[in-house]
A and B are shown apart, each in its own frame.
Chain A
Amino acid sequence: MVTQVQIIQWIQVFASVIEHHKEELTELDAAIGDADHGINMDRGFKKVSNLLPSFVDKDISTIFRTVSMTLISSVGGASGPLYGTWFLRASSATAGKKELTEEDMLKFLQSGLDGVIERGKAQLGDKTMLDVLSPAVVAFEQAVNEGMGTVEALRVAVSAAEQGLQETIPMVAKKGRASYLGDRSVGHQDPGGTSAYFMLRSLLKVVDSQKKGGRG
């Protein structure tokens, strides 16, 4: 079970990971895009961080919706609508919830992914965040179907995401500004995929540490 408190912690951790890796994300983007991914994501998640205190008494869906609206109105570029849509769909999928079962988690991860596909019109292999999010959701679903709990399923999902991220390196970009590089985009890791990986890894970190704490 993932609690509302953990969701807030996750967003807090993700925001600090973005801040910490701001330069790295921007450098990855400079290589094949327009050198603003870290700057834009950090601007958005700083705004989200300022709202954290107001999340305390809200349900998960409301938190996701607020995160979405904040990102949509402050990130800009392609990342704003894509992450904004991801959290907006996550909000719809978690209506009224204060905690999430494995099935709820799957529903929210799947809904977010579907939203990103509709908004961005990318396909697998286009060297985008989809190449990280999609294998993660597939792995999570399979793990849940095999009877794993949220923490174990997330661990499998994050390692699928990491592998997906590595696989963006040899891909030729077909979406966004990187697409104009054609073959010259080969050999570079996708910046949007990198931030998407950080997002899932942050979620695992929070949920996992909580569990260990519980055992101790």
Chain B
Amino acid sequence: MKKLINQPEDFVKESLAGMAVAHADLIQVNYEPSFVYRTDAPVQGKVAIISGGGSGHEPMHVGFVGMGMLDAACPGEVFTSPTPDQMLAAAQQVDGGAGILYIVKNYSGDLMNFEMATELARSEGIRTLNIIIDDDVAVKDSLYTQGRRGVGTTVLAEKICGAAAEQGYNLQQLANLCRKVNLHGRSLGVALSSCTVPAKGTPTFALGDNEIELGIGIHGEPGRERVSMKSGDEITEILVRWLCPSQASLIDNIDYSRTVREWDEAQEGWVDVELLNKPLQKGDHILAYVNSMGGTPVSELYLVYRKLAEICEQEGLQIVRNLIGPYMTSLEMQGCSITLLKLDDEMLRLWDAPVKTASLRWGV
């Protein structure tokens, strides 16, 4: 294992300490329990948005704390969900009296820890809701698995909801918006190489020299298929169009329904909410997001984007915004993911609104 680290157990803490020094104008870092928060928090009267998850995906989520995006982020150990005490302490720190929206990626650990945090915060009188992001179309069914994983759409939801919170959306409006962004987004990833968790020291999975894993998860969860290495154009084509008609792809996506657990304020308890994704249609306006898993250079992402734009044009999808770069990584894994988000006027306006964070910044 070759990494720029000291002791593996200090990796997360020392990386956070570096962020705190580098971006002292934007964020502060609290340790024990650890969370990153906006220097100007709490913003009175504004709903605060908090996300979190295992470390190793930077800049998500800690790099997205700041004006127009997250009020706080809770980093767990590498690829391990953070804990409810972090989420509760972050909520206490940034609550401006208008409530807290937790944005949660669909992994069993994240779900359970955020659910406990929601119960704890509510018992302390902090109005809290949680919305789940599950956009990874590589997962075929939700009946016999944990369901689709939360991947690229998370970054877009944090940006769009962050802007809406700045513009005065209330907690319920924000929860509805976040759910809508999730239902409009879909992602698919590919790994060209594995990654190594510092505390473990050996690669998470083994991939042959000439093999790639299509549909990889951001923690190295197995994808849909392991195939031999192909050209950049071929890989892009497979991700976007998926050649087998029975399988969901980014474009010709099948309807996907599942139930998720959300807090219901009227019933004061957890309820199962049924969600349904609709396929993309010709003429849709979309945001195309090409993301590096960490080890793939930006030049290759642009090569992928070139092919993606060509396919979208053929399919009658109009790319009106794009995002290209390493925003949700899996340590040093080589590979990329593509996220397509169908935009309506509301989401487009909020996407364009100013944002000032360590890793995403425009309009200011």
- A172-B108 in contact given A74-B83, A80-B83 (Cβ < 8 Å): no
Stretch of A3-11, A31-39, A130-138, A203-211 at the chain-chain interface: A31-39
Interface of A (DSSP majority class): helix
Whether the Cβ atoms of B80 and A36 lie closer than 8 Å is yes
Q: Does B197 have its Cβ within 8 Å of any Cβ on chain A?
A: yes
Residue of A nearest to B32 (CB): A73
Whether the Cβ atoms of B146 and A177 lie closer than 8 Å is yes
Q: Does B59 have its Cβ within 8 Å of any Cβ on chain A?
A: no
Q: Does B116 have its Cβ within 8 Å of any Cβ on chain A?
A: yes
Q: Does B159 have its Cβ within 8 Å of any Cβ on chain A?
A: no
Residue of B nearest to A79 (CB): B109
Whether the Cβ atoms of A82 and B144 lie closer than 8 Å is no
Distance (Å) between the CB of B338 and the closest chain A CB?
19
Question: Within residues 177 to 203 of chain B, which ones have a CB less than 8 A from any CB in chain A?
Answer: 197, 199-200
Cβ contacts under 8 Å, A110 to chain B: none
Whether the Cβ atoms of A76 and B107 lie closer than 8 Å is no
Which one, A35, A72, A80, A182, contacts B200 given CB within 8 A? A35
Q: How long is the Cα–Cα vector from A184 to B205 in the complex, in angstroms? A: 14
Residue of A nearest to B85 (CB): A73
Distance (Å) between the CB of B23 and the closest chain A CB?
25
- A72-B116 in contact given A34-B220, A35-B200, A179-B146 (Cβ < 8 Å): yes
Residue of A nearest to B215 (CB): A180
Whether the Cβ atoms of A179 and B80 lie closer than 8 Å is no
Residue of A nearest to B89 (CB): A73
Q: Does B81 have its Cβ within 8 Å of any Cβ on chain A?
A: yes
Q: Does B162 have its Cβ within 8 Å of any Cβ on chain A?
A: no
Which one, A30, A75, A176, contacts B146 given CB within 8 A? A176
8 closest residue pairs by CB, A with B: A81-B112, A179-B145, A77-B109, A73-B85, A78-B109, A76-B80, A176-B108, A78-B108
Q: 27 A–B contact pairs at CB < 8 A?
A: A30-B200, A34-B79, A34-B80, A34-B219, A34-B221, A35-B197, A36-B80, A36-B197, A36-B199, A40-B80, A72-B85, A73-B33, A73-B83, A73-B85, A75-B83, A76-B54, A76-B82, A78-B81, A78-B109, A80-B81, A84-B116, A172-B144, A175-B146, A177-B146, A179-B146, A181-B222, A182-B145
Which residue numbers of B lie inside 8 Å of A, CB to CB? Answer: 33, 54, 76-77, 79-86, 107-109, 112-113, 115-116, 139, 144-146, 149, 197, 199-200, 204, 217, 219-222, 261
